[in-house]
Amino acid sequence: MARTNYYVSPNGSDWKLTSGGTTLATDANKAPVVAKGREIAKKNQPSELFIQNADGTIADKETYGNDPYPPRG
């Protein structure tokens, strides 16, 4: 089963949460958007949440659901 990816990224002076090109949440502050991203990602496992810095670099990545290691294949 494929993972659903969620992204917390800067959007001008705001922050947004997106998945598959759809904006799911926006806020002027990063923390509420990250909290909403964690909530949605936990409910829709397997998923990954990518949290970006203001410059667009990846600050953190959180994986939810079964993450078998080593990967199959």
Q: What is the pLDDT along the chain (73 residues), one digit of tens a residue?
A: 689 999 999 999 999 999 999 999 999 999 999 999 999 999 999 999 999 999 999 999 999 998 666 666 6
pLDDT of residue 67: 66
pLDDT of residue 66: 80
Q: Which structure tokens are listed for 35?
A: 């909290």
Other CB atoms within a 10 A radius of the CB of residue 6 amount to 24
pLDDT of residue 2: 82
Phi, psi for 18 (deg, rounded to 5): -130, 160
- b/e burial code for range 36-68 (CB count within 10 A of at least 16 → b): bbbebbeeeeebbbbbbeeeeeeeeeeebeeee
pLDDT of residue 22: 98
Q: Output the pTM of the full model.
A: 0.89
pLDDT of residue 34: 98
